[in-house]
Amino acid sequence: MSEPISTFLKPSLITLAVVIIMLLLRLIIKTSTLKIARKTQKNEARSRQIIRYVNVLLLITTLFVAMLIWGIDYTDVALIFSSTFAVIGVAFFAIWSVLSNITSGVIMFIYFPYKIGDKIKIHDKDFPIEAVIEDIKAFQLHLRTEENELITYPNNLFLQKPVSLLEKDVI
C-alpha cells in the first residue's frame, strides 16, 4: 500500500472502532435505562429525557476522542473545549435555575419515591401544597389540587422541601 493510503487508513479504522464502541455503549445505556424505568414504573418521557442527556455526553466524548485520533494536538483540543465550556458556563450561570432543575430531574429519575397519581403534601411554611402528582417533567412537576388548580412546581425546590406521601395512586 502506498504511504498516503496507509497513513489515512489507520486513523479511519480506529475512528470507526470508536464510533462502533460509542454506539454499542449508547445501546446498552438506553436498554438499561428503559429496563430500570419499567421495573420502577417511571414515566417513559422521563426515560427518554435521561437518554438524551447521555447521548449528548457520549457525542461530545466521541468528538473529543476522534480529534485526538486524527492528530489534533491535545493542547489545541483542550483550548477549543475550554473556550467552548467557558462561554457555555457563562451562559449557564445566567440561567443557573434551569441547570438546577435539569440536574434535579435526573436525580428524581434515578431516585424518586413518588409516582404519577400519588397524593403528596409539600411542607413549605409560606406556601404548603397538598396535591396529586399529575406529571413529572424535566424541569418541573405538575400538581393538581383538590380545587382542580394546576401547580407547576420546580424540581429543584421539590428536592429541597420535606414532602409527605398522603395516598398512593389516587388517579
**pLDDT for position 81:** 74
Per-residue model confidence (pLDDT) at position 20: 93
- The whole-number pLDDT of residue 147 equals 94
Question: pLDDT of 113-166, one tens digit each?
Answer: 888 889 999 998 888 999 999 988 878 889 999 999 999 998 888 888 899 989
Selection from 79, 66, 32 nearest residue 51 by Cα: 32
Angle at 88 between CA 83 and CA 94, to 5 degrees: 135
pLDDT value at 48 more than 60: yes
CB atoms within 10 A of CB 66: 16
pTM above 0.85, yes or no: no
- Per-residue pLDDT tens for 8-20? 778 888 889 999 9
Residue type for position 83? S
Place of cell 421539590: 158
* Mean pLDDT for the stretch of residues 84-100: 76
- Whether residue 101 is predicted with pLDDT greater than 90 in this model: the reply is no
Percentage of the chain lying above the pLDDT 70 cut: 92
Q: What is the pLDDT of residues 25-37, one digit of tens each?
A: 999 988 988 888 8
Terminal Cα-to-Cα distance of the chain (whole angstroms): 69
Domain formed by 110-167, architecture = Roll (2.30)
Answer yes or no: are the C-beta atoms of 151 and 129 closer than 8 Å.
Answer: yes
Top pLDDT among 51 and 74 is at 51
Mean pLDDT for the stretch of residues 84-109: 78
pLDDT of the residue at 38: 84
Q: What is the pLDDT of residue 152?
A: 92
The residue extents of the domains of the chain are 3-72, 110-167
